Amino acid sequence: MSRRAATLTAASVLVLVLALVGSLMPVPYVTLMPGPTQNTLADNAKGEPLIAIDGRQTYPTEGNLNFTTVTYRGGPGGRIDLLTALRGWLDGDTAVVPEETIFPDDESPEEVDEQNTRQMRDSQEDAEAAALRELGIPVGTRVVVDSVQKGRPADGKLKAGDEITAVNGTAVTKVQQVSDIMNGVRPGETVTLTVRRDGDESRQRIPTTKGPDGGAVVGVVLAGDYKFPFEIDISIGDIGGPSAGLIFSLAIIDKLTPGPLTGGRFVAGTGTITPDGRVGPIGGIEQKMIAARRAGATVFLTPKGNCAAAVEARPDGLRLVRTDTLKDARQALNALTTGKGTVPSCTG
């Protein structure tokens, strides 16, 4: 064998060995890729309205209002190999990020999934509240039991989902009101909670004990909830996270007001939403824009905090509309439809 042939053979073997090692070597990275999009004005996979409203007049809609998602590969339970990570780095549609970006060291994959599910549930409720308030429809609040701590006085007397309507005879509709009343109770004293469960109301006398901060507690975790004047049901399947809040709010507004909000356009977007209508930034903006454009979107509603990254990675044919608030987004879509007014962009 000639020296050149021997060198080529050795190089080929080395490449094969490196490829084999790369395919077997797990690395602590996660790849982020464009995920599916769904039109909130259409039906879900079961043939049911993705957003259904009962108890209030609704109006026909047109066009698309798509929320966008990101899919990922990797994580502590199934790490990607080195070659997959390298391919991701070379692929313009894929982002490769450290594993702890998605899976914090102090949380298990199951806890991350649970958190994402909870965030989606909360974002839906915040979106409903923001939409109704934008339309001037009153939204009430209430206090509910999120969980009961085992071994504490409330264990066996209260359960998750119970609504607390009064403490020691004082009506409450916010968690802070409960905290303010409990600040005046000394550990060991008994409190009377008025509880609504399955439509029935009862009074529970529960002794208190000393909490971690020295105050009186009964051993429950409370959460604020909304009291909507009619039913809104959002059914999107197994998708987590809070980033669809803005699109949910706009879709609800579209269904509750005459005339198509999109003007028949294919609009997509992203952004968290607060109950008072403020839009927040999200992760994976590059992959979400790619997913939107592939689906056919020509307009992309972009949180102000994501504008810089969005401008750098904007796909051809996609117009970026900057959204600071729900009102901004609504006005921008109206301006696009009527040709009157300004349409804020990520470039100024």
Which residue(s) pair with 49 in the sheet?
A: 43
288 part of the active site: yes
Q: Are 256 and 56 in contact (CB under 8 A)?
A: yes
DSSP structure string for 159-219: -TT-EEEEETTEE--SHHHHHHHHTT--TT-EEEEEEEETTEEEEEEEE-EE-TTSSEE-S
**How many alpha carbons fall within 13 Å on the CB side of residue 201?**
6
* Tokens 């989606």 found at: 120
DSSP structure string for 286-322: HHHHHHHHHHT-SEEEEEGGGHHHHHHHPPTT-EEEE
327 part of the active site: no
Q: Are 271 and 323 in contact (CB under 8 A)?
A: yes
Q: Which of 288, 327, 340, 345 is catalytic?
A: 288
Q: Which of 157, 243, 249, 255 is catalytic?
A: 243
DSSP3 helix / strand / coil % (the chain, rounded to 5): 35, 30, 40
Provide the b/e sequence for 203-222 (b: ≥16 CB within 10 Å): eeebebeeeeeeebbbbbeb
Provide the annotated active-site residues: 243, 288
